[in-house]
């Protein structure tokens, strides 16, 4: 097995899929990239058993097709040191010794038998849909931060994706906060829903193009596959039923406060420095057209408060929130102003953007209050 490849294009391809490889693996073969040469097509695969990523390269000079597993970290570290030059790679299929020739240098490393590399599970009952890449990137960016980490509730550790004849909906929650991102301009021929795990979503949002290029999604009972450009990502879906998120979204919220998003974000950031570092509690006192933000840490006699102008319709009220959750939510919105919709200090509050956003997208964020001392 021999081929010549440009060092920069090979490094870029490897870096695009290297995130899938864990720093500590139970199987040594998972520390490797699988190289498969077939004619002039080179396929490189990385896997952690749950998620697999493959990138394809078209080569001009190749000899003898073949397969080999090459240590990932050593190969990437070596490629980083090269300028933009051609590299000749030759592999002995008998003992899996790999020789790299670049410029005046020759480098040898030990590969492994490709037969040991895990194979992708076959998919059953495949449904295929195509979605624009920028819609997926936006949906993942808006929802990923709200996913949970509780392994006892695996369904909540991923993002719930639902596609039907009316819209596409992406939901994430950890029981303290919830985000629902809806696209009314995306419709499907089938009613499908599945829960995507966090790791492949983080990998996807980093490699998906930021334009309307089409991404093919193949969905089976246990797996999903994303195909775009020269990349393929396949992952196991989160098993389990997603909680009924519609039931927790309050419908009647007579108290509405509209406020400048950036001003509020900066104020919360400053005031929360003085909050209790275990509860991160911050108090909203809304009266008239004024919001008073306050926080205190009784253990250290720290306290802070700030006044902000707002547009408020409703009864005067005081409500407590976790400042970290608020900061995450406000930083994941794009509009100049946001509206808080609330009913009572012990009921969930909603945060929605005010105009300026894409008319076909609808974002709703829910935050549970914390009990005021």
Domain limits, the chain: 2-116, 127-246, 249-367
Tokens, residue 199: 């790791």
Give one DSSP letter per residue of 67-107, joined into a string. EEEEEHHHHHHHHHT--S-EEEEEE-TTT-EEEEEETTEEE
Q: Pick the closest to residue 199 from 69, 17, 43 (CA basis).
A: 17
Confidence (pTM): 0.92
Q: Give the model confidence (pLDDT) of 214-243 as tens digits.
A: 999 999 889 999 999 999 999 999 999 999
Fold identical between 127-246 and 249-367?
yes
Tokens, residue 149: 């980490």
Instruction: Calculate the alpha carbon distances from 370 to 19, 269, 321, 322, 340 in Å.
Output: 37, 18, 5, 7, 16
Cβ within 8 Å of residue 243, ≥6 positions away:
155, 156, 173
Q: Give the model confidence (pLDDT) of 61-96 as tens digits.
A: 999 899 999 999 999 999 999 999 999 999 998 999
Strand partners, 307: 292
Q: Give the model confidence (pLDDT) of 164-223 as tens digits.
A: 999 999 999 999 999 999 999 998 888 899 999 999 999 999 999 888 899 999 998 899
249-367: CATH topology is DNA Polymerase III; Chain A, domain 2 (3.10.150)
pLDDT band (50, 70, 90) for residue 356? low
Of 44-53, 118-127, 155-164, 212-221, minimum mean pLDDT range: 118-127
d(CA 176, CA 320): 13
| Chain-centre distance for alpha carbon 349 | 25
Looking at 3.40.50.620, 3.40.1010.20, 3.20.20.80, 3.10.150.10, the CATH number of the domain 2-116 comes to 3.10.150.10
Instruction: Calculate the alpha carbon distances from 144 to 137, 161, 163, 233, 318 in Å.
Output: 10, 12, 18, 18, 29
Give one DSSP letter per residue of 134-168, joined into a string. HHHHHHHHHHGGG----TTSGGGGSEEEEE-SS-E
Q: Pick the closest to residue 142 from 361, 298, 311 (CA basis).
A: 361
Using the predicted structure, report yes or no on whether residue 357 has a pLDDT greater than 70.
no
pLDDT band (50, 70, 90) for residue 331? very high
Domain 127-246 has CATH 3.10.150.10: yes
């Amino acid at each position: 097995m021999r081929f010549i490849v440009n060092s920069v294009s090979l490094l870029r391809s490897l870096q695009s899929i290297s995130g899938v490889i864990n720093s500590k693996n139970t199987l040594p073969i998972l520390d490797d990239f699988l190289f498969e040469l077939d004619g002039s097509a080179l396929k490189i695969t990385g896997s952690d058993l749950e998620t697999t990523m493959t990138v394809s390269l078209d080569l001009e000079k190749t000899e003898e097709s073949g397969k080999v597993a090459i240590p990932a970290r050593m190969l990437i570290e070596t490629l980083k040191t090269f300028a933009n030059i051609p590299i000749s790679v030759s592999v002995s299929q008998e003992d899996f010794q790999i020789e790299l020739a670049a410029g005046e240098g020759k480098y040898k490393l030990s590969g492994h038998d490709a037969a040991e590399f895990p194979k992708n599970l076959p998919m059953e009952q495949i449904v295929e849909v195509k979605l624009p890449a920028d819609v997926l990137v936006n949906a993942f960016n808006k929802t990923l931060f709200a996913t949970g980490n509780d392994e006892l509730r695996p369904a909540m550790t991923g993002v719930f994706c639902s596609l039907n004849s009316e819209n596409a909906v992406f939901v994430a929650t950890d029981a303290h906060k919830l985000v629902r991102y809806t696209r009314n301009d995306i419709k499907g021929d089938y009613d499908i829903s599945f829960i995507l795990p966090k790791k492949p979503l983080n990998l996807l949002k980093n490699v998906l193009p930021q334009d309307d290029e089409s991404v093919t999604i193949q969905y089976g009972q246990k797996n999903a596959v994303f195909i775009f450009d020269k990349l393929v990502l396949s992952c196991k879906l989160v098993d389990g039923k997603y909680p009924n998120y519609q039931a927790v979204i309050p419908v009647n919220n007579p108290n509405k406060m509209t406020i400048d998003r950036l001003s509020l974000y900066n104020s919360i950031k400053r005031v929360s420095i003085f909050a209790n570092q275990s509860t991160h509690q911050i108090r909203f006192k809304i009266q008239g057209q004024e919001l008073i933000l306050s926080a205190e840490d009784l253990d250290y006699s720290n306290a802070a408060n700030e006044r902000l102008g707002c547009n408020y319709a409703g009864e005067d009220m005081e409500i407590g929130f976790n400042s970290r959750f608020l900061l995450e939510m406000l930083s994941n919105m794009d509009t100049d102003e946001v509206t808080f919709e609330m009913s009572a200090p012990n009921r969930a509050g909603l945060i929605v953007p005010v105009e300026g956003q894409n008319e076909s997208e609808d974002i709703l964020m829910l935050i549970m209050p914390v009990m005021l001392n």
